[in-house]
Amino acid sequence: MQEGKNLLDILEQTKKAIQKEDTATIKNLSDRTNNTVAKTHDPDNITLAVIIYAMSKIIERRQYRNYPGWNKFYKNVNVYFDKLIYCLRQKNEECFSETLKLIRAEIDNLSGKLRRYIQDVFRKAEINKASKIYEHGISLEKTAKLLGITMYEVAGYSGQSGIIDETINKISAKSRIKIAMEFFK
Amino acid sequence: MKILIFDSSTLISLVMNGLFEEIRQIKKIFDGKFLITKEVKNEVIDRPLNIKRFELEAIKIQELLDDKTIVMPEELKIDSSEISRKTYEVLELANNCFLSNGKEIHLIDAGEASCIALSKHLNEKKIENLMCIDERTTRNIVESPEDLKSFLQKKIHSRIEIKKNRLEYFSGLKIIRSAELVYVAWKKGAIKSRDKKVLDAMLWAVKFKGCSISEDEIREIQKI
């Protein structure tokens, strides 16, 4: 666990935003984790970034609340968020890591459609976070490995989301074409 | 003998657009070999073969290996384990070049590093080669580390230091992208249609599947 103070602030604000169902704030808070993740590659930071982003989507989709298992899931996630805050205040890394695992395990405890939908939200949250890390200058392959997803997923999402529009090119496209054409002579 | 080294990112941009036949046609007009390393094979074939969503792409790339459109280093009597050993040297160098608050930023991984290792190996043997890399970070480490430093500073919001002496290793390496490959294929008749609209469509298609090319660059290529 790195940048504990920053994470504590993010978590405390996320907890409040979840209670207010303020999904825009939750997404912004999730984005605040991107810098830390890109710099440190810390697995707990990565997991937390994914969880916060996924929560913004889960809260946004009000229809999930009608499915069996929702109340227990929502209640438990809130309890785990309190525990994450507690672990950070105690500077207890092991407790923090274990609690993150418990949140992920909570999805496995679900059943039926809600389980499928929330699994899908988490999967998409992983791809979204991966594209944000790629946007921060970490390579495609490294990013895919950090999030445990395939390069195909990161490439496809990044290509369509416009993330790679911000290219750095010392060599112009024209010069690169020249190199390619000469190589194929 | 000329060698075109494919990174995972390039193969992904091409195959996710279903351009398998086009890869075969480009190979036919090329007086050389298309190579992938063991590490790249792992990323584009071995791992996705076990993931239903990308199994088909993996099988189709395997077919390119089976019909020798793409070959492994052993085809040129290059020992893959030697490239793997050099890959770790590249990883060690590349991932210790950029520092944020004194801590190294690990920028690249084994597949990307293996392409650099293979290209360096071929350079040592005086074999003309080019790397085809669509993802921008590896390309920037090789071509424009100072610009990458500025980019990282802007994105990570912290001061970045570069160990310049380590970057010398990457000089003299040449890179193109799937976009340039598509242009060569179109220009040299490896693609049936001579319609510029087809070129335009292919350039956008590879961009949408991850080729790091800007709209301005696409416009620049269209004007050539």
Q: A73 burial class (0-12, 13-18, 19+ CB within 10 angstroms)?
A: buried
In three-state secondary structure terms, B98 is: strand
What is the phi/psi pair of residue B176, to 5°? -125, 180
Whether A169 shows a pLDDT value over 80: the answer reads no
Interface contact B136-A39, CB threshold 8 A = no
- State the smallest CA–CA distance between residue B176 and chain A in angstroms: 6
Percentage of residues in chain B having pLDDT higher than 70: 100
Question: In the prediction, which pLDDT does B111 show?
Answer: 97
Whether B53 shows a pLDDT value over 80: the answer reads yes
- Furthest-apart CA pair in chain B: how many Å? 53
Mutation for A interface: B106, B131, B199, B206, most A CBs within 10 A: B106
Please name the amino acid found at residue B6: F
Q: How far apart are CA B100 and CA B224, in angstroms?
A: 40
CB pairs under 8 A between A and B: 166
Whether B166 shows a pLDDT value over 60: the answer reads yes
List residues bridging with B161 in a β-sheet: B99
Domain housing B185 = 2-223
What is the phi/psi pair of residue B38, to 5°? -60, -35
What are B174's two structure tokens? 């040449």
Q: Which of A136, A160, A173 sits opposite B155 (nearest CB)?
A: A136
CB of B73 less than 8 A from some CB of A = no
Q: Which of B156, B158, B209 sits opposite A156 (nearest CB)?
A: B209
Assign A2 a pLDDT band (cuts: 50, 70, 90): low
Residues 6+ apart with CB under 8 A from A12: A85
List residues bridging with B3 in a β-sheet: B33, B129
- Domain count within chain B: 1
In this prediction, residues A148-155 reach a mean pLDDT of 94
What mean pLDDT, rounded, does chain B reach? 95
Q: Which of B43, B136, B152 sits opposite A141 (nearest CB)?
A: B43
Q: pTM (2 decimals)?
A: 0.91
CB of B159 less than 8 A from some CB of A = no
What are A94's two structure tokens? 């092991």
